[in-house]
Chains A and B, each alone.
Chain A
Amino acid sequence: QQQVKQSPQSLIVQKGGIPIINCAYENTAFDYFPWYQQFPGKGPALLIAIRPDVSEKKEGRFTISFNKSAKQFSLHIMDSQPGDSATYFCAARVDNAGNMLTFGGGTRLMVKP
């Protein structure tokens, strides 16, 4: 059962554009929402994370927007660069139930020069 749905599956933007990746979840017990970046041949690396008591969080060029009532959250990449080309995963976790993460299906981002 997929509890975190991610869209789009792939995304192509020009350098400097703002790709937006969306995720929706079903389990209202989730209370920690990280985003991971994965390059080919590597494991996922944590980019940024948010908890549902805030609606937005920024770290450098990466911003998470969170809509608790809609059970949706999104990742925005400002001033995207070719080096941002990677696969991005959203995830969710129930904070008091160990560290198990439920991942979305991933978005393959290509930033053209």
Chain B
Amino acid sequence: DAGVTQSPTHLIKTRGQQVTLRCSPKSGHDTVSWYQQALGQGPQFIFQYYEEEERQRGNFPDRFSGHQFPNYSSELNVNALLLGDSALYLCASSFDPGGYTFGSGTRLTVV
């Protein structure tokens, strides 16, 4: 049984570009949350999707947007990339309202 799968594992983007990160939740999980983890810091909550709707959002600008598909997979989009967006982006899935399973993350570097 696969856990949470994230793609790509690493990518490098230029300031001002846009990026899309993808997440496939653990089998049986219907809720997907996204976190940003800067180097040496704890994860920060971006937003959560349930039933294809954004249910909860953290303190992140509108440049960060997402989507959840009918198969529960999810995308995180970041527009107008800044150097400060460089981080590990973690996807976590759960069966509402259960505990999380985290993926291994996507390492985004903005140059």
Indicate if the CB atoms of A100 and B42 lie closer than 8 Å: no
Interchain CB contact under 8 A, A99 and B96: yes
Min C-beta distance of B68 to chain A, whole Å: 14
Complex-state Cα separation, A99 to B104, whole angstroms: 19
**Do B42 and A43 have beta carbons less than 8 Å apart?**
no
Best-surrounded residue of B43, B94, B99 (most CB of chain A within 10 A):
B43
Contact, CB under 8 Å: A42 / B104: yes
A98 touches B56 (CB 8 A): yes
| A102 at the B interface (CB under 8 A) | yes
Report yes or no: B55 in contact with A101, Cβ–Cβ below 8 A: no
Q: List 29 A-B contacts (CB under 8 A).
A: A4-B42, A34-B99, A43-B92, A44-B90, A44-B102, A46-B99, A46-B100, A89-B42, A95-B97, A97-B56, A98-B48, A98-B97, A99-B33, A99-B48, A99-B94, A99-B96, A99-B97, A100-B45, A100-B56, A101-B43, A101-B45, A101-B100, A102-B45, A103-B42, A103-B43, A104-B42, A106-B40, A106-B41, A106-B42
A interface residue numbers (CB < 8 A to B): 4, 6, 34, 36, 41-46, 49, 89, 91, 95, 97-106
Known A43-B104, A100-B45; 13 more pairs at CB < 8 Å: A6-B42, A41-B104, A42-B104, A43-B102, A45-B102, A89-B42, A98-B55, A98-B97, A100-B56, A101-B43, A101-B45, A102-B45, A103-B44
